[in-house]
Structure 1
Amino acid sequence: MIDPMSDETTSRSARPSGRPRRSSADVLADAAAELFLEQGWSRTTVDQIAQRAGVSRGTFFNYFESKADMFWLDLDATALGLGEALRASSGTSPVRRVEAALVQLAAEHPADRVPWALTQSDAMGLGDDLVASAAVRLVRIRATVASFLCEAAGAPRGEAGAEVAASALLAAAATAVVTWARAGVRRRPLDQEVAEALAPVTDGLVADGLAGAGHLAGG
């Protein structure tokens, strides 16, 4: 996804609306970013996005269920690999394996794919819609992580310790993503941000025995 504040995006914004372009999720997201900056999130419709991208309304819904899904195009793609990364991870405990998997996914995320929803949220007027769409994703990912923790430790599904650990680990990772996105020219590799954010959380969970569920935390 192209940074909506880049020179390339500016030149594309000057093109006549409706000019045909290659149909893809990236093209639609770029068109949406341009419109959100020009007239705001709430005043931009799906029809306008499709027209700017040069595709039909139906094509939009082939890629996205709603406008809010466009916020997270690249991060959603990275998150799709979470289950496989968890299964392939290694570590001295389930918690350490989650840490390793999250850092691995961060390392695989393309360095130039910075979510514009995090860098341009105020200018686009995203507000509560950004928070709501992020919450939906965090809940879904947390469930995946908690389920893995229970399975890997042979613990009953829904065990409180696993739920606590999953929430803590994902809160740290999400904070790292926001910090990374908003760092601008000081931006470091995403995996470094995620690793540094996760380290004290993971160490704390291990030291505390994961609120009594030591079989999840290991040592």
Structure 2
Amino acid sequence: MTPPRPATRGRPPAASRELLQESAFDLFIENGYTGTTVDQIATRAGVSRNTFFNYFDAKGEVFWVELDAATERLKTALADQPAQPADVTDAIRSAMLVAVAPLESHHVPFILTQYDLIGSAAELQASAMSRFATQARLLSGYAQHHGVDSATARAQAYSLIACVVAAAQEWAQVGPQRGRFEPYVERVINSVLAPR
């Protein structure tokens, strides 16, 4: 069992989201998801319960640090696309690949590799769905802003989110030699979208 980290005063260092996530994952392995409390996670990370809630709304939120960061990169990448893209679909594809580009082998979602420790937690499914819906809104909003009708934009957005989920599942199953996530996403997206 890993000893608790020493307690600190005030707000913890900038890497606290990752530190809390790492502490939570260690405890989930030791005690299972349902056997781990927010207080235990905070103690392991050497912070207060209140500090935990400065970063996460609930215990299940620790699973989505990388997904939340990818969503922020997606917002930026869509904003960075040309004002009048020659091909809206290609602009969206490019933005999605930028969003996942930093994800390396060690970023594979814990929930995909350690699901037996989690079980069927409705809380986790709900928080994942809300994040995917946020990404779909970003994608469909971008497409609609560039002249795609709303039904087509939504259908395309949810299809692309499904591509990322399928790619993540494949990526997780490959094992330690999986490498970067981006090629998996690109291959699945290209199989669904019309070729360039």
TM-score (norm 1): 0.77
- Show the 5 A alignment for 1:1-219: 13-15=1-3, 17=4, 19-20=6-7, 23=13, 24-89=16-81, 92-125=86-119, 127-153=121-147, 155=148, 159-203=150-194
Q: Aligned to 2:179, what secondary structure does the other structure show?
A: coil
Q: Distance in 2 between matches of 1:170 and 1:92?
A: 22
Change (3 A) 1:86 1:141: same
Q: Distance in 2 between matches of 1:85 and 1:119?
A: 28
Q: Which deviates more, 112-121 or 189-198?
A: 112-121
Q: Deviations over 1:21-69 (max 9, x none)?
A: 7651111111111111111212211111111111101110111111111
> For residue 175 of structure 1, what is the amino acid of its counterpart?
A
Partner of 1:6: none
Residue 202 (structure 1) shift: 1.1
Q: Aligned to 1:194, what secondary structure does the other structure show?
A: helix
> For residue 201 of structure 1, what is the amino acid of its counterpart?
V
Q: Aligned to 1:182, what secondary structure does the other structure show?
A: helix
Percent identity between matched residues is 32
Residue 111 (structure 1) shift: 4.2
| Count of aligned positions | 189
Report which of the two structures shows the higher radius of gyration computed on alpha carbons: 1
Aligned-pair RMSD on alpha carbons?
2.2
Q: Deviations over 1:147-166 (max 9, x none)?
A: 0000022x56xx11111111
8 Å contact kept, 1:18–1:53: yes
Q: Distance in 1 between matches of 2:19 and 2:129?
A: 25
Unmatched segments (≥5 aa) in structure 2: none
TM-score (norm 2): 0.86
Change (3 A) 1:26 1:126: farther
Residue 118 (structure 1) shift: 1.6
Unmatched segments (≥5 aa) in structure 1: 1-12, 207-218
Q: Distance in 2 between matches of 1:92 and 1:202?
A: 16
Q: Aligned to 1:109, what secondary structure does the other structure show?
A: coil
Residue 135 (structure 1) shift: 0.9
8 Å contact kept, 1:40–1:125: no
